Amino acid sequence: WIKVTMEKFPVPEGETHIKVFLGLNFYGYRYDQAELSAKADQQQYGMKPIVGRDYIDFLRKSYPKSFIVYDPRTDEHATVVHGQPIKRQQQQQQHPLPQTIIFYPSLKSIYKRLELASKLNVGVAIWDGGQGLDYFYDLL
């Protein structure tokens, strides 16, 4: 979706768009199950931002019940947490809706966005740089 949006601002060949920036968030979003709904496929989630130190703490506490998946369509990683511990080889099987889903940037997702900004010849704006993980800056 980012590429499609950025392509709506075409840059003439050989020129740069010095006022167009592709935003990089160095924080994530955490979605926790809210109230149980009557239908399992209509589960509601509450959303709140999550910063680097809280994400690392969450991973430490939730590792046995969680796994991290990569979505190539969005070039994003998501941490998925179920109520019961999950065997790593069962990750791809069908599970009930997760208790928590966290979308948090990774080196790969940041790299993909930097690569896209370079290809589109636009600048980069970092949202809440101090809220991310220190090693995110290794790519800049």
What pLDDT, in 10s, does the model give residues 53-65? 999 999 999 888 8
Q: What is the pTM of this model?
A: 0.73
The full set of domains in the chain, from first to last, is 1-26+107-140 (no CATH), 28-104 (3.10.50.10)
Whether the pLDDT of residue 17 is over 60: the answer is no
pLDDT band per the 50, 70, 90 thresholds, residue 70: very high
Q: Quick one: 90 exposed, middle or buried, by C-beta within 10 A (0-12, 13-18, 19+)? A: exposed
Q: Name the range with the highest mean pLDDT among 4-13, 111-120, 130-139.
A: 111-120
pLDDT score of 120:
84
> Is residue 37 a contact partner of residue 14, using CB atoms and an 8 Å limit?
no
